[in-house]
Amino acid sequence: MPGDDVEHTPPLASGPRPGRATATDVAALAGTSVSTVSLVASGKTKGRVSSSTIARVASAIETLGYVVDHTASALARGSADVVILVAPDLSNPYYGDVVRGIMSVLGDRYQLLLSVASPGVQPDASVVGRLTALRPAGLLIDAPSAEFLAALPAGPATVLLDAPGSARGDAIVNYDLVRGTDDLVDHLADQGHRVLAYLDSSTGTETFALRRSLIEAAAARRGLTLLGGVASVVDVSAAAAAVTAAWPEWRASGATAVLCATDTQAYGALASARLHEIRVPEDVAVSGFDDLPSSVVTAPGLTSVALPGTSLGRTAASRMLELLGAAAPPPANAAADDDDDDLTTRLVIRDSTRHVVS
Amino acid sequence: MPGDDVEHTPPLASGPRPGRATATDVAALAGTSVSTVSLVASGKTKGRVSSSTIARVASAIETLGYVVDHTASALARGSADVVILVAPDLSNPYYGDVVRGIMSVLGDRYQLLLSVASPGVQPDASVVGRLTALRPAGLLIDAPSAEFLAALPAGPATVLLDAPGSARGDAIVNYDLVRGTDDLVDHLADQGHRVLAYLDSSTGTETFALRRSLIEAAAARRGLTLLGGVASVVDVSAAAAAVTAAWPEWRASGATAVLCATDTQAYGALASARLHEIRVPEDVAVSGFDDLPSSVVTAPGLTSVALPGTSLGRTAASRMLELLGAAAPPPANAAADDDDDDLTTRLVIRDSTRHVVS
DNA sequence: CTGAAAGCGCTTACAG
DNA sequence: CTGAAAGCGCTTACAG
């Protein structure tokens, strides 16, 4: 009789083991080997385990609350079910959207590990070493600098987010920034602005270089003058200080609009304007990028190029699942072709630019 | 001659090994055993390894760019150098501060892994299982619900953040909310308000229950009426909708001030007021909690109870290092006693409440 | 279909 | 001071 040759399982009288149940515990309870437990736990039973054994093991797993030890599994398989997101900064609420998009696609299959740098500082090579020591299955790199990319190891699957201009062999997911920036400059030109000032981000990531050059191109197309050379980190106070310092020169050059690389910096511009009794939009128009939730309630409401962060996250995560050979969750709408998510940026016009320059 | 008995190291002619160098590689290069490499790599050489051996191994480590494999190390030691932060939501920029504070204290010693739930949803027991399968050295739980705490495993070191009312044996780091809420209610009472409306968070975490009860207590102390029962998730639009719906009743009850559980919800209140042409602060005063960076530039500027998020993160991380037996970095100012960081909340008064009710 | 065995790369007593 | 060996808990050929 099958089952008779099973040694009497160690008396459970000794109480639940301190700590987690192991595959050995499950095997003992189910009367099988650890190999079989592993097969069942990882779902690789197709044509290899009888259904009665599967049932027995499954119930033992259930009873003991067994969860595969991630560390041991990672060591044995050579890589962990962990995807690491490297992002420059978390204080920008915009990243919350990206993270949410990523997690919605990754689901339970992979853990998302976050590696954040200090504001304005890019993670360096030593970070990369410690990161890969965790044996991640994949690396998601948001808004990287060129130096950081150069230090990246070749090992794990890598997807770059918001990294225009990177020519590595990696998968890259970028916003379509052209639409939003063109619309922004067109809108300002239509309002009668002739001289625009640009507050850049000093973070030194490619996405900001692209934003600047797209605005330059659009300004040239419309015959507008663009004043550059001013930058700050992505922080309200720092941006306010930079704007305050730049103001005399901008004024002298006849600038009537301040375009900022991020909404956060635009908040600084608004604060600086308020402080110096410069009226927005009457004296100067102000715009940003990101369309943060709070941009609805600033004084005045902030015109902004909206970046679809959740779409970026979802698309990047889907790409990652492809690279990892895991099936991406089926798209909700079968109409879409490859990308279900629209990465087009979109201009949101609010009162901060609603004034016609005479 | 020491070193002569070293087998000629495998010909490097075959090129750098694909993948990372292992302790075995280092041992071969240095002419020692893996045991010794392990000792040197982890700095446990005190009285166990000769300085010449240390030097040899160190240089081999340098040469090969050896980094201890985190996974294997975690398996051998029983726990990983990973600290997991469980937070309800990342879209609130306030969490950026907390994360920054935590990382500044954890430094290179531990990796911070982030587990975020969907907005308004608490992570449940299955999350806990997968979390502990990673063998984290510690768990940092921010703003947990009672149910979540009940599902927590006893294993890893745990520090609760912003979890008033939790009576587990865990280390808990809380804000001192009394000061900020008392000042808020006093301020409103001084301005002549007699009936206050409260927009609660529907997230169901303890910190919000405490905020409400502290406001209730302060209102009672000052003889004010507090209207409750209205709540929304922490989201601008949701809050706006909730306020819009509540407005008739609040008006009828004579409320002249709307206190919100978060700045984000206060933004919604501002947006709703603007939409319905209710003037702030003339018709109604509005306040929040968090003092987000953008609260400086809302229209009008938002009065808010500032929560020192960075301090919370730093303090919690220090507590964690204590629990883990790792020395916390020495406090910058030796004056402080136990806590270097001030967790006192502070009322920041802006225009949204600057109107005397007649 | 099933299990014994080797191996993932470390760490840690333990014996020299 | 140093190294051989066992073990962490899995996974995966491999042989039945």
Residue B135 to residue A70, Cβ atoms within 8 A: yes
**Helix (H) or strand (E) segment spanning residue B81:** strand B80-87
Of B241 and A2, more confident: B241
- At B269 the pLDDT is 96
- At A326 the pLDDT is 67
| Residues A135, A79 contacting (CB under 8 angstroms) | yes
Distance CA A186, CA A199 (A): 18
Q: Which two tokens stand for residue A339?
A: 């990308």
What integer is the mean pLDDT of A252-257?
Answer: 96
Name the residue with tokens 């030691």.
Answer: B77
- At B19 the pLDDT is 63
User: What residues contact B195, with CB distance under 8 A and at least 6 apart?
Assistant: B224, B225, B226, B227, B253, B254, B255, B256, B257
Return the number of other C-beta atoms located less than 10 Å from residue A342's C-beta. Answer: 12
Nucleotide nearest A27, CA–C1', reads: C3
- Torsion angle in degrees (nearest 10) through CA of A57, A58, A60, A66: 110
CA distances from B114 to A83, A115, B83, B333 (A): 11, 9, 9, 30
- At A8 the pLDDT is 35
- Strand B195-201, strand B257-260: pairing: parallel
| Residues A7, A32 contacting (CB under 8 angstroms) | no
3-class secondary-structure state, position A156: coil
Residue B114 to residue A118, Cβ atoms within 8 A: no
Nucleic strand C within 7 A of Cβ B34: yes
- At B8 the pLDDT is 35
CA-nearest residue of chain A to B264? A294
User: What residues contact A62, with CB distance under 8 A and at least 6 apart?
Assistant: none
Kindly list the protein residues whose beta carbon lies within 7 Å of any strand D atom.
A 19-20, 22-24, 34-35, 38-39, 41-42, 44, 66, 68-69, 72-73, 75-77; B 31-36, 47-50, 52-53, 72, 75-76, 78
Q: How far is A154 from chain B (nearest CA, A)?
A: 8
What is the DSSP code (8-state) at residue A12?
A: G
| Residues A260, A242 contacting (CB under 8 angstroms) | no
- At B121 the pLDDT is 54
Backbone angles phi, psi at A337, to 5 degrees: -90, -80
Amino acid at B21: A
Q: What string of DSSP letters covers A160-199?
A: EES-TT--SSSEEE--BHHHHHHHHHHHHHHTT--EEEEE
| Residues A228, A235 contacting (CB under 8 angstroms) | no
Task: Return the ∠ at Cα B351 (arms to B345 and B355), rounded to 5°.
Answer: 110
How many residues are there in chain A?
358
What is the pTM assigned to this prediction? Answer: 0.77
Taking the stretch 73-112 of protein chain A, residues with Cβ within 7 Å of any atom in nucleic acid chain C are: 75-76, 78
Beta-sheet strands, E only, within B204-356 = 225-232, 257-260, 285-290, 303-306, 346-348
Distance C13 C1' – B45 CA (angstroms)? 16
CA distances from A222 to A173, A189, A195, A217 (A): 29, 7, 11, 9
Nucleic strand C within 7 A of Cβ A7: no
Name the residue closest to C11, CA to C1': B76
Residue A300 to residue B299, Cβ atoms within 8 A: yes
Per-residue pLDDT of chain B (358 residues; tens, 9 = 90+): 333 333 333 333 233 335 678 999 999 999 999 999 999 998 888 888 999 999 999 999 999 988 888 889 988 988 778 888 888 766 676 787 888 889 888 877 788 887 776 544 555 666 677 777 778 888 898 888 777 787 777 778 899 998 887 666 678 999 999 999 999 999 999 999 999 999 999 877 788 999 999 999 999 999 999 998 899 988 888 999 999 999 999 999 999 999 999 999 999 999 999 889 999 999 999 999 999 888 988 888 999 999 999 999 999 999 999 888 765 554 444 334 444 578 999 999 999 999 998 7
Of A4 and A164, more confident: A164
What integer is the mean pLDDT of A138-156?
Answer: 80
| Residues B262, B242 contacting (CB under 8 angstroms) | no
Which residue among A75, A113, A114 sits closest to B71, beta carbon to beta carbon?
A: A75
- Strand A303-306, strand A346-348: pairing: antiparallel
For chain B, what percentages of helix, strand and coil (3-state, to nearest 5) are there?
40, 20, 40
- Strand A136-142, strand B303-306: pairing: unpaired
Distance D1 C1' – B310 CA (angstroms)? 46
> Above 50 in pLDDT, residue A308?
yes
Residue A297 to residue B271, Cβ atoms within 8 A: yes
Q: Which two tokens stand for residue B254?
A: 């004579």
From chain A, pick out residues whose CB is under 8 angstroms from the CB of B20. Answer: 132-133, 155
Residue B116 to residue A100, Cβ atoms within 8 A: yes
Distance CA B255, CA B224 (A): 10
Q: How far is B71 from chain A (nearest CA, A)?
A: 6
> Percent of chain A at pLDDT above 70?
84
Beta bridge partners of B159: B140, B171
CA-nearest residue of chain B to A18? B155
Q: How far is A191 from chain B (nearest CA, A)?
A: 24
User: What are the tens digits of pLDDT across the range A14-36?
Assistant: 333 356 789 999 999 999 999 99
Residue A299 to residue B298, Cβ atoms within 8 A: yes
Q: How far is A98 from chain B (nearest CA, A)?
A: 9
Q: How far is A271 from chain B (nearest CA, A)?
A: 6
- Of A61, A70, A310, which to mutate for an interface test with B (greatest number of B Cβ within 10 Å)? A70
Beta-sheet strands, E only, within B106-254 = 111-116, 136-142, 157-161, 171-173, 195-201, 225-232
* Strands laid side by side in the A195-201 sheet: A225-232, A195-201, A257-260, A285-290, A303-306, A346-348
- At A65 the pLDDT is 86
Task: Return the ∠ at Cα B17 (arms to B15 and B19), rounded to 5°.
Answer: 140
Distance CA B80, CA B76 (A): 9
Query: B269-306 burial string, b = 16+ CB within 10 Å, else e?
Result: bbbbbbeeebebbeebbbbbbbbbbbbbbbbbbbbbbb
Residue A297 to residue B300, Cβ atoms within 8 A: no
Amino acid at B42: S
CA-nearest residue of chain A to B89? A96
Name the residue closest to D5, CA to C1': B35
Q: How far is A217 from chain B (nearest CA, A)?
A: 31
Nucleotide nearest B51, CA–C1', reads: D1
Query: B219-231 burial string, b = 16+ CB within 10 Å, else e?
Result: beebebebbeebb
Which residue among B96, B100, B130 sits closest to A111, beta carbon to beta carbon?
A: B130
**Helix (H) or strand (E) segment spanning residue A289:** strand A285-290
- Of B69, B294, B304, which to mutate for an interface test with A (greatest number of A Cβ within 10 Å)? B294
Distance C1 C1' – A113 CA (angstroms)? 39
- Of A71, A105, A298, which to mutate for an interface test with B (greatest number of B Cβ within 10 Å)? A71
**Helix (H) or strand (E) segment spanning residue B101:** helix B94-106
